[in-house]
């Protein structure tokens, strides 16, 4: 099965379905870790990667023997390979071994880096004005061969595009062979590293100049080499590397189950994202108390939701006691912001009240505007166990009757290997920004780095600290000493928009 060139969204639907159903996954070095998120929790993962930089985990023979062994044991096995399994992926050899052992198999093609990496670098491998043919060539032949099977005189005379895979270490030899056999030394060449990924890097030159340029830039595998006039199209087709956040790396501190929206939006804008969840969302300590309040919904005039999590957990326990959203027919609903209202809409509900500013204080002000006399009204606040009491206090001061119930817990994520990886990224200046979407993400971030930051306060120097809103910013100033970016609209899209606007003047100054 081909995993594609790197961008997990370039995986085929058929490949995703197979990954989700297989018992064992044998995966390679070039398979993006985000693709492995679709593996069943109970499935076995076996890394069998081979890399010119890190060496071979298993020999090819050992991989094939393992495939046969697992299949003979009754397992449904996914042999997951970067790119396409039949384009220099040794998929044919593995298929032949399975055939020899009477093991049934199917092949799921993948998008090859030979076409995807150039496309993401703004280079079409064919073009009406430049090339009517494309050749895909290995830059790393079998070392056991007595001599090269590449016909350099023919390749040098071809007028179409030449794409070399796995050839960056042989780049001086490749360019020399082409020039020696008659290829114009001024032929345009591009080398693309980690094509389709946020860390993609592209350099261009000619057959005469590209090898020294790549050496100076210290480009390491995986790279593809594109030779031909199609490289001339890059200045006006370079859509990916010109995105507003391309080349920037951001750390996300949200809970892992909530990080996808922020991650997706940043990556759509070209950024690289490192997930460092500082909080976990868990069921409440007292489920019975939650269920009791939900069974008495009819006694409340208002239910106020201050987060999408509050909505989801409320509905979860409402359904568990055999009730449904009709229980909300006698009360009015307020939501702190559009994300919370969207969560309500998923259950067929619509907020009656939505403040213009998405903080708890604004809910109270908006309530007073539409209903000045709150005395005697009953309010239910389904919330996190550590949520602020400001709204409840304001309502109580206005004479309202308030029941707060913790429908979920927010706890600090336990220490794991991601801390070591984050410290490495910070210490090598690979992080450009850290995003915080709540006060708890800030306090838990500081707690997780408690053993590192006091001794190395410079780790955060030069890194932009981005906040979703004023409450989060207050905690950031208390614990981290500063806020560099604050979203005027306190939502995930608002946070992303503020990050983009922050970098736009810098990009204009650079370009």
Model pLDDT, residue 54: 55
Q: Please write the tens of the pLDDT for every residue from 143-167.
A: 566 667 899 999 999 989 999 998 9
CA separation for the pair 498, 19 (Å, rounded): 37
Pick left, alpha or beta for residue 314 (phi over 0 → left; psi -120 to 50 → alpha; otherwise beta).
alpha
How large a percentage of the chain has pLDDT more than 70?
96
Look at the domain 8-110 and name its fold: Cobalt-precorrin-4 Transmethylase; domain 1 (3.40.1010)
CA atoms within 13 A on the CB side of 268: 10
Look at the domain 249-278+413-510 and name its fold: Rossmann fold (3.40.50)
Buried b / exposed e along 408-430 (16+ C-beta atoms within 10 A)? bbbeebeeeeeeeebbebbeeee
Model pLDDT, residue 134: 96
Q: Please write the tens of the pLDDT for every residue from 187-237.
A: 999 999 999 988 899 999 999 999 999 999 999 999 999 999 999 999 999
For 114-237, which CATH superfamily applies? Tetrapyrrole methylase, C-terminal domain (3.30.950.10)
CA separation for the pair 460, 3 (Å, rounded): 35
Look at the domain 282-410 and name its fold: Rossmann fold (3.40.50)
Query: Given a cut of 90, is residue 508 above it in pLDDT?
Result: no
Sheet-wide strand order for 77-80: 44-47, 24-27, 77-80
How do the domains of the chain map onto residue ranges?
8-110, 114-237, 249-278+413-510, 282-410
Contact indicator for 41, 125 with CB cutoff of 8 Å: no
- Judge whether 324 counts as a catalytic residue: no
Locate 424 and state its tokens.
Answer: 């490495």
CA separation for the pair 118, 70 (Å, rounded): 37
Q: What is the pTM of this model?
A: 0.79
Total H helices, total E strands in the chain:
18, 20
- Judge whether 166 counts as a catalytic residue: yes
Q: Do domains 249-278+413-510 and 282-410 have the same CATH topology?
A: yes
Locate 159 and state its tokens.
Answer: 């007028």
One-character DSSP codes across 26-56: EE-TTS-TTGGGGS-TTSEEEE--EETTTEE
Average pLDDT, integer, range 181-190: 97
CA separation for the pair 488, 490 (Å, rounded): 6
Q: What are the CA-CA distances from residue 47 to residues 25, 27, 95, 253, 374 (Å)? A: 8, 5, 19, 28, 62
**Catalytic entry in 32, 67, 84, 166:** 166
The distance of Cα 124 from the centroid of its chain, to the nearest Å, equals: 26
**Catalytic entry in 16, 50, 75, 169:** 50
Contact indicator for 215, 204 with CB cutoff of 8 Å: no
**Catalytic entry in 1, 7, 28, 476:** 28
Report residue 176's pLDDT band, with 50, 70 and 90 as the boundaries: very high
- Judge whether 50 counts as a catalytic residue: yes
């Amino acid at each position: 099965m081909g995993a594609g060139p790197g961008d997990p969204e370039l995986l085929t639907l058929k490949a995703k379905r197979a990954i989700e159903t297989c018992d064992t996954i044998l995966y390679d070095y070039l398979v993006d870790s985000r693709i492995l998120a679709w593996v069943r929790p109970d499935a076995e993962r076996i890394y069998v990667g081979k890399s010119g930089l890190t060496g071979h985990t298993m020999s090819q023979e050992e991989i094939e023997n393992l495939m046969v062994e697992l299949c003979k044991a009754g397992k449904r096995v996914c042999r997951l390979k970067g790119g396409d399994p039949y384009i220099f992926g040794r998929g044919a050899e593995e298929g032949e071994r399975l055939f020899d052992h009477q093991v049934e198999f199917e092949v799921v093609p993948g998008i090859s880096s030979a076409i995807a990496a150039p496309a993401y670098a703004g280079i079409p491998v064919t073009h009406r004005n430049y090339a009517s043919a494309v050749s895909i060539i290995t830059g790393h032949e079998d070392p056991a061969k007595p001599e090269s099977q590449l016909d350099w005189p023919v390749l040098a005379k071809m007028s179409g595009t030449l794409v070399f895979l796995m050839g960056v270490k042989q780049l001086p030899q490749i360019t020399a062979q082409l020039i020696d056999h008659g290829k114009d030394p001024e032929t345009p060449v591009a080398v693309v590293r980690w094509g389709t990924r946020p860390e993609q890097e592209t350099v261009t030159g000619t057959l005469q100049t590209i090898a020294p340029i790549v050496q100076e830039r210290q480009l390491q595998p995986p790279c593809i080499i594109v030779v031909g006039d199609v490289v001339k199209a890059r200045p006006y087709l370079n859509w990916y590397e010109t995105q507003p956040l391309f080349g920037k790396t951001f750390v996300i501190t949200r809970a892992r189950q909530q990080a996808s929206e922020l991650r997706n939006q940043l990556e759509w804008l070209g950024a690289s994202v490192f997930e460092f969840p500082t909080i976990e969302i868990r069921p409440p300590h007292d489920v019975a108390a939650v269920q009791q309040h939900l069974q008495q919904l009819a006694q409340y005039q208002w239910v106020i939701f201050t987060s999408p999590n509050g909505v989801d957990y409320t509905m979860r326990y409402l359904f568990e006691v055999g009730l449904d959203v009709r229980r909300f027919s006698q009360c009015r609903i307020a939501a702190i912001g559009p994300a919370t209202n969207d969560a309500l809409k998923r259950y067929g509900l619509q907020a009656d009240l939505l403040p213009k500013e998405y903080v708890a204080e604004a809910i109270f002000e908006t309530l007073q505007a539409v209903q000045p006399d709150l005395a005697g009204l009953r309010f239910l606040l389904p919330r996190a166990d550590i949520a602020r009491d400001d709204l409840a206090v304001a309502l109580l001061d206005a004479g309202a009757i308030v029941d707060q119930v913790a429908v979920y817990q927010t706890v600090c994520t336990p220490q794991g290997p991601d801390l070591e990886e984050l410290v490495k990224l910070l210490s090598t200046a690979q992080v450009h920004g850290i995003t915080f979407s709540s006060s708890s993400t800030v306090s838990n971030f500081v707690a997780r780095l408690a053993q590192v930051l006091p001794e190395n306060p410079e780790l955060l120097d030069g890194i932009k600290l981005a906040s979703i809103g004023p409450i989060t910013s207050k905690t950031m100033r208390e614990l981290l000493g500063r806020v560099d970016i604050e979203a005027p609209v306190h939502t995930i899209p608002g946070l992303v928009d503020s990050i983009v606007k922050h970098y736009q003047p810098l990009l204009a100054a650079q370009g």
